[in-house]
Chains A and B, each alone.
Chain A
């Protein structure tokens, strides 16, 4: 069974203090690893897809990287508006070809001004 574990559960940073969020996964065959941002009471907002180990993607202050067992979301010089819960999900190869996502429980990031 595919599993995703995110750490830490919560992270408090000062504005400008860079850090990384971790996503460890086990999957029978990785089709893709996805990062989402979720604000309270809202739907997850797509950030990145990573397909193979060694791949990296960047968007503004965020950079996602992927190895065979984990992914990191690096946040450089964060701002208060980066405060949100960041979700990691995997899409594995399944019988029947379902594209379902298996999510971790998320890391709640708070950036203080």
Chain B
């Protein structure tokens, strides 16, 4: 158990809908990262938050947004969903701004029908 929790575990929704994925980092970790894993692309970095502030953006679509709250949990919002958004979404956390290992949560499997 990495200490990172994610909910829900599975999500099935229709095209055009909006969903919210939730992540709670390990106790004491200030950074939260979101990654998307699909069969053909592998793990792709989406966005990083550090202590409530956006720190870096990767290949995140404009339809997707995220935030980190004062208690350090984070939410990833996916809207106007398309079939191609079906993937595993992972949250990771780390201890700060230096060279720290990222610990991953169990993921949310999103299926868009």
Contacts and interface: CB of A to CB of B under 8 A. Distances in A.
Interface of A: 31-32, 34, 36, 41-46, 49, 51, 87, 89, 91, 94, 96-106
A99 B105 contact: no
A85 B112 CA distance: 25
A102 B56 CA distance: 13
Nearest to B40: A105
A2 B26 CA distance: 27
Interface residues of B, number: 28
Interface in B59-98: 88, 90, 92, 94, 97
A31 B99 CA distance: 7
Interface of B: 2, 4, 31, 33, 35, 42-45, 48, 55-56, 58, 88, 90, 92, 94, 97, 99-107, 109
5 contacts: A32-B99, A44-B43, A46-B2, A46-B101, A101-B45
B31 to A, nearest CB: 7
B16 to A, nearest CB: 26
Nearest to A103: B43
A33 B68 CA distance: 27
B99 A49 contact: yes
B30 to A, nearest CB: 11
Contacts of B42: 103-106
B101 A96 contact: no
Contacts of B48: 98-100
